[in-house]
């Protein structure tokens, strides 16, 4: 398990990938968040994909004033995130399980979200 932090959000969509075995509430639909991820233990940033439940996403975005717009089944920020919004999102600690890589993108499943 790793502590990770999101550094912004590129887009969010419903997970449509088959064959992934989730450990946190495996029967609950997951959302796929594509973002830059900071891996705390390695102090390294990487392009990443985080699989979250709707509740976990709400915890990450709570009081961050992030407006999302839906375009063709994909949610994106309606305007670029401000430095303050990125900082607030980055302060949220996500305990995540590493699932592997898809190309150059590291994939994680969120197990616990704390601020």
Q: How confident is the model at residue 41 (pLDDT cuts 50, 70, 90)?
A: confident
Q: How many domains does the chain have?
A: 1
Its domain, for residue 36, covers: 2-114
Q: What is the pTM of this model?
A: 0.90
Contacts 24+ apart (CB under 8 A), 77-82: 77/9, 81/8, 81/9
* 9-35 pLDDT, tens digit each: 899 999 988 888 888 888 899 999 999
- Report the first-to-last Cα separation within the chain, whole angstroms: 17
Sign of torsion, CA 7 78 58 15? negative
- Judged against a pLDDT cut of 90, whether residue 104 lies above it is answered with no
CATH number of residue 59's parent domain: 2.40.50
pLDDT > 70 fraction of the chain, expressed in percent and rounded: 100
Contact predicate 115/92, CB 8 Å = yes
Please give the pLDDT value at position 56. Answer: 93
Whole-angstrom distance, CA of residue 41 vs CA of residue 4: 8
What integer is the mean pLDDT of 53-69? 90
């Amino acid at each position: 398990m790793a502590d990770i932090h999101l550094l912004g959000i590129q887009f969010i969509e419903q997970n449509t990938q088959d064959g992934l075995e989730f450990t946190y509430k495996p029967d609950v639909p997951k959302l796929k968040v594509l973002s830059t991820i900071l891996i705390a233990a390695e102090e390294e940033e990487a392009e990443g994909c985080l699989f979250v439940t709707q509740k976990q996403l709400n915890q990450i975005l709570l009081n961050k004033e992030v407006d999302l717009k839906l375009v063709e089944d994909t949610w994106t920020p309606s305007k670029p995130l401000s430095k303050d919004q990125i900082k607030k999102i980055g302060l949220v600690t996500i305990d995540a399980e590493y699932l592997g890589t898809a190309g150059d993108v590291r994939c994680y499943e969120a197990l616990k979200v704390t601020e």
